[in-house]
Amino acid sequence: MAKQQFLHIRTERIHQQGLDIEEVLSKEMLTELLYEPSRELVWSCVQDGQLKANILPDGNTYRLDGDIDVTLTTPCVRCLNDVVVQLSAKLHMHLMPGVEPSLVDLELDESDDLDEDLRADEPDVGYFQNGVVKLDLIVREQLFLDLPIFPTCEDSGFADNRVCEFTSVMLGPTKDAVWPDPVKEKLAALRKEMV
């Protein structure tokens, strides 16, 4: 039970001067938080991360600002080697009373990028419900928004500038190999007909 309540902030704890939150995001907690039922994106956590945030009352709503620092790993979508991504994500959000973020909201948000330029500086909108801010879900949503959708070796924070192995594997046969050229083949066929 205690684990489930982690990062669930009761709004009664948020006083007029605001509430500072500083928490270690354990490897286990982050890996669980980023678990995605469809398994299309499999991120796991390399080391403990950190969350620093401040929630400030604003009428009946709240302002949430914060930083999330995590180091995550997932297979490269091309060569399947591990990609390690060090991510510093920013929270800049207006929390309104309403429904909690869910996978459905996440998908809607991602498809809704047409007016992204217009609202670049605007705070995102998040929700709290029944007097509880579910910061874990907000962190999850922000991480998925900021993580690469198709992670490759180029996203990796490895210091050795490792080359994606897909490149060397898929460069194909040596230069002696002859690739059929559809245009030239058609021309050759035409020429045959004309002769």
Q: Is 14 among the residues that bind Zn ion (CB under 5 A)?
A: no
CA R_g for the chain: 24
Q: Is 70 among the residues that bind Zn ion (CB under 5 A)?
A: no
Nearest residue to 29 (alpha-carbon basis) of 61, 72, 59, 62: 72
Nearer to Zn ion, 85 or 138 (CB): 85
Residue with tokens 């510093």: 88
Q: Which positions ≥6 away from 164 have C-beta within 8 Å? A: 76, 78, 79, 81, 152, 153, 154
In angstroms, how far apart are the furthest CA atoms of the chain? Answer: 90
Query: Given candidates 78, 89, 93, 156, which one binds Zn ion under the rule CB under 5 A?
Result: 78
Q: Is 85 among the residues that bind Zn ion (CB under 5 A)?
A: no
Query: Given candidates 9, 14, 53, 79, which one binds Zn ion under the rule CB under 5 A?
Result: 79
Chain residues 114-143 in contact with Zn ion, contact rule CB under 5 A? none
Chain residues 160-189 in contact with Zn ion, contact rule CB under 5 A? 164
Q: Is the dihedral of CA 9, 12, 15, 16 positive or negative?
A: positive
Nearer to Zn ion, 84 or 96 (CB): 84
Instruction: Name the residues that contact Zn ion, by CB under 5 A.
Output: 76, 78-79, 153, 164
